Structure 1
Amino acid sequence: MPAGSSKKRERQYEKIKDSSKARGAGEGRAKEIAARTVNKERARAGEARQASRTSTQDPKSAPQRGGQRSGNRVGPKGPTRDQLYNEARQRNVEGRSHMTKDELAKALGR
């Protein structure tokens, strides 16, 4: 916890850390989750010297959001084209060098 934190924030930190560990996070990861959460709450309450825009302008606090933003990063799903190409090469798929990612996946039966 940062120096000068209130007893309430220290209790909040310990509770979040224990909860994270109970869900299977390692010690280091649990500490990181707890520190980030408490620091964000401190920023929202005006207790921190500096605060990011997302800390202060988020419509909901972390507990209220309930993991709404966790793991929803937009990006490619599944194996890359190179991974599919290597698998196609191992299976001797004809014409694989001219295929797109979707065509390779279809040829491999995915």
Structure 2
Amino acid sequence: MPQGDKSAYTDKQKRQARHIEEAYEKKGLPESKAAARAWATVNKTDGGGKKKSGQA
């Protein structure tokens, strides 16, 4: 899996990251930094992607 590939994340994790990113953007963070922080937060709480390899 290439770096930055989000296919291993569940729909719930992707949704959480989107909401966290929006909150950071409202606080005035640039979009790229907000996205990086959002995914870091999801990784910290859930330990990364939850889908097993081979699942669609």
Q: Normalising by structure 1, what TM-score?
A: 0.38
Q: What is the Cα deviation at residue 3 of structure 1?
A: 1.8
Name the aligned partner's letter for residue 36 of structure 1: A
Unaligned runs of 5+ in 1: 48-110
The alignment covers a number of residue pairs equal to 46
Q: Decide which of 16, 30, 47 is 1:26's aligned counterpart.
A: 30
Instruction: Tell me the secondary structure at the aligned position of residue 12 of structure 1.
Output: helix
Other-structure match for 1:50: none
Rounded to whole Å, the distance in 2 between the matches of 1:33 and 1:4 is 18
Unaligned runs of 5+ in 2: 51-56
Other-structure match for 2:6: 2
- Map Cα deviations across residues 35-78 of structure 1 (whole Å, 9 max, x no partner): 1001111218xx4xxxxxxxxxxxxxxxxxxxxxxxxxxxxxxx
Q: Normalising by structure 2, what TM-score?
A: 0.69
**Greater relative contact order (Cα < 8 A, sep 6+):** 2
Q: Percent identity?
A: 27
Rounded to whole Å, the distance in 2 between the matches of 1:6 and 1:32 is 17
Structure 1 segments of 4+ aligned residues over 6 angstroms from their partners: none
